[in-house]
Structure 1
């Protein structure tokens, strides 16, 4: 049986580990973070329930890849959250999407591409570029409209 154990000695920088040991590899890695937002919309040129005004609790999952810095970090999850809050969520959460998004039919397929573009744009903004975000790029955005239905935008499709 496993018991609770307090570490014998807390590892200390420059004593137990050196700065040059923090970066374990030089491989591209992917970090992912997800968010939810609530919004209303309706679809045009569509004969079904979604032609009427209705709402969803959407879930967005970002996959961002790049190379780790000297500390072994690609991107702080808090920085992804900050970009989400300041650059993207303000246009989506508790909004009428037909009004706040660019002119488009507010399908999951259209919205996910818009979200992808906003995150990629934010990653390339000068004020968001940090030394450690080495070649950070959006690999995918997945937008769940319901718990079982989603649309996805992938980098290779967006760059084609």
Structure 2
């Protein structure tokens, strides 16, 4: 892959892992750190520039950093968005799927994005993280 776009950001959210026998079964919060890595074989236009000069717009990759009332995950109660299962594994998969959905919304007509490869890493604490890709 000739291009690899990488960005990192944080967001703060609360959650409960329903049925967890221990502290994580009580309401608590995290400052989640996210790393998005998007590889592409070609450059494309974005929602903000119509020429094919980007892998994707950084804004598209950083959507989750927005306040929950603006469509992101910052200051969200994750159980309201994801249900009872709010482990790092479930959250990182959600980030992956929503990010790919947003990227595909901006692809030019006839471009299926089959060359795009996304990998998302989510740190729940400074020492513990989960990665997701397909």
TM-score (norm 2): 0.76
1:137 aligns with one of 116, 122, 127: 116
Is 1:118 equivalent to 2:98 in the alignment? yes
Cα distance in 1 between the residues matched to 2:40 and 2:95: 19
User: Post-superposition, which runs of at least 4 consecutive aligned residues in structure 1 deviate over 3 A?
Assistant: 68-74, 133-136
Which of 25, 32, 38 in structure 1 is aligned with 2:12? 38
Q: Which runs of 5+ in 1 are unaligned?
A: 1-26, 156-160
Instruction: Tell me the residue number matched to 1:80.
Output: 58
Bigger CA radius of gyration: 1
The one-character-per-residue Cα deviations of 1:93-113 (angstroms, maximum 9, x if unpaired) are: 0111111x2334111100100
Task: Note the C-alpha offset of 1:82.
Answer: 4.0
1:95 to 47, 56, 76: 76
TM-score, normalized by length of structure 1?
Answer: 0.65
Once residues 7 and 128 of structure 2 are traced to their aligned partners in structure 1, the CA distance between those partners, rounded to angstroms, is 18
Residues of 2 paired with 1:36 and 1:68: CA distance? 28
Given that residues 43 and 51 in structure 1 are in contact (C-alpha distance below 8 angstroms), is that contact kept between their aligned partners in structure 2? yes
Partner of residue 146, structure 1? 125
How many correspondences in the alignment? 122
Distance 1:96 1:37 in 2: 12
For structure 2, which runs of at least 5 residues remain unmatched after alignment? Answer: 45-50
RMSD: 2.7
Partner secondary structure for residue 37 of structure 2:
strand
